[in-house]
Amino acid sequence: MTPQQAQPEAGQDLDTDLWFGLLGPVEARTGGLPVDLGPRQRRVLLIRLLVENGRPVSMDQLCDDLWAGNPSTGAVSAVRAHISRLRSALEPAQTARGQGQLLMSGPGGYSLCVPDTARDTVRFERALEQTRRFLEAGQTAAARDEVDRALNSWRGRALADAQDHAYASEECWRLEELRHVALELRITVLMTQGDYGQAVTAAQHLTVQQPLRETAWVLLLRSLQMAGRAAEAVQQYNRVRRLLFAELGLEPGPALRQVRTDIQHHRVRPVLGQAVRSMNTTDR
């Protein structure tokens, strides 16, 4: 999907609002038009400020983070130059009049003050919550549209320009984890709609991507069971049991064991409750 296709799903106000894309290579738009963010170091600086959610970052911290703890002698001058150019790029008219209000400096350092909804990461997380609300209300078609929109806002790896910077590692992990939660939620929506074939295919793909993620295997076993493929579900249970023991020295967790028991006793549990709970839990 191209950025032009993804951008309307992000809910951007095309007239005036700024929009920042972090679910892939960093992007910025203002008034619906792309902003030239310049060289990679400037884009990494922008990401560093965006992940702080408006909190100030000191000059020393910026230099350490951008130069991986080993800033050059010209690091301070380089950061100041990048800050100046970012101001001009994000608020050209206001900066020319000395009235810029986005990229601010103060005693604590530099901060980028933008509304939460200006970032695609926040919109993505809110879309997941909305999907869950739709599911709880029995609005499965709306839930499917919402989770599809959320997943389509991804253009690559989260914070892609800063992947090799330590400051971004925790946020990258958190966002990628939420992406997997969204994929699991979509599988649950498919099962709720009775689209078991697509649910099985999606769950199989997820277990390939995350072979040690037990929640993905739970969804695969459930979808196989509901598709009338109980024998195959048992085979997959045995497969993941061997995998977990070989890789981690562990037996399957309670959720996987419960699915195995349900299949043995020809018992099908409601899909919805499992899905909503999965958004609030993590693998062991």
Domain ranges, ordered by start, for the chain? 3-118, 194-284
Query: Looking at the domain that runs over 194-284, which CATH code has it been given?
Result: 1.25.40.10
In order along its 284 residues, the chain shows pLDDT tens digits of 333 333 333 334 333 478 999 999 999 998 889 999 999 999 999 999 999 999 999 999 999 999 988 898 999 999 999 999 999 899 875 654 555 578 999 999 999 999 988 999 999 999 999 999 999 999 999 999 999 999 999 999 999 999 999 999 999 999 999 999 999 999 999 999 999 999 999 999 999 999 999 999 999 999 999 999 999 999 999 999 999 999 999 999 999 999 999 999 988 877 765 544 444 443 43
Q: How many Å apart are CA 52 and CA 103, to the nearest integer?
A: 12
pLDDT at 209: 94
**Tokens 């929640």 belong to residue:** 215
For 234, residues 6+ apart whose C-beta sits below 8 A from its C-beta are 260, 263
Residue 161 contacts residue 47 (beta carbons within 8 Å): yes
- Which amino acid is located at 258 in the chain? Q
pTM of the model: 0.85
pLDDT at 268: 83
DSSP H helices, the chain, are 3-9, 40-50, 59-66, 75-90, 92-96, 120-136, 140-152, 166-192, 196-209, 214-226, 230-248, 254-264, 271-278
pLDDT at 221: 97
Q: How many Å apart are CA 56 and CA 222, to the nearest integer?
A: 47
End-to-end CA distance of the chain: 33
Q: How many Å apart are CA 22 and CA 83, to the nearest integer?
A: 19
Q: Report which DSSP code applies to 104.
A: E
Class of domain 3-118: mainly alpha
Cα Rg, the chain, nearest whole Å: 22
Residue 129 contacts residue 135 (beta carbons within 8 Å): no
Q: Which residues pair with 115 in a beta bridge?
A: none
Residues in the chain: 284
